[in-house]
Amino acid sequence: MLLQIYDFTSDDLQDLGEIGRGAFGTVNKMVHRRSNTVMAVKGDCWICMEVMDTSLDKFYKFIYEKLQQRIPESILGKITVAPERIDPQRARGYDVRSDVWSLGITLMEVATGHFPYPKWNSVFEQLYQVVQGDPPRLSPNENGNSFTMEFVNFVNTCLIKDETQRPKYNKLLEHPFIKYSDENSVDVAFYVSDILDRMSNNGRTMFTMNDP
């Protein structure tokens, strides 16, 4: 999360609705019109979040700007917040392990090309599914893709619903998937650019799970 103070008037903002309220005031979700930055606004505190709607915000923006296409609404507004952050019954609070959950959601979406939750009709369905439903689980073979057992275990470890059993980052760094990745280098920028170039040459503007 990037914390930054901006100097602008209320006319520069578009109110997208209330996020929540409590003893310390009301928080609204807003967009800075000129920069298209999403913000959580509380009183005179301006909290700018580069990644609020989705952990893949920058990636999607890069992809679709290069393809000169508008980002599909179907991949916007995805919730990656951990259950303990929105469950009123868990009054003990949360720590860095809530970010581990968000990492797991992001990795699963990148790996499969699909958001791991079904489509919701309202924010209440979102909250109920995350708090009351089973956590997403990655399978070794999903949507025609095969994943190593190390990667599957890593993602599913991040998505342990009970935060007391979910590891913190220092423990995750000892995971076999991370250790293997440390020993093997991959030029991700070249890979993404190569895929985009091939798509552009073929006149395509969307990804499919059959892409190499």
* Binding annotation for ATP: 42
What gap in Å lies between CA 1 and CA 16, rounded to an integer?
20
Neighbouring C-alpha atoms within 13 Å toward the C-beta of 192: 11
142, 152 in Cβ contact below 8 A?
Answer: no
Residue 66 burial (10 A CB sphere; 0-12, 13-18, 19+): middle
Binding-site members are 42
CA distances from 85 to 102, 130, 210 (A): 11, 10, 36
Question: Any residues with CB less than 8 A from the CB of 138 and at least 6 apart, and which?
Answer: 108, 111, 112, 116, 147, 151, 152, 155, 156, 159
Q: What does residue 32 show for φ and ψ, rounded to 5 degrees?
A: -75, 115
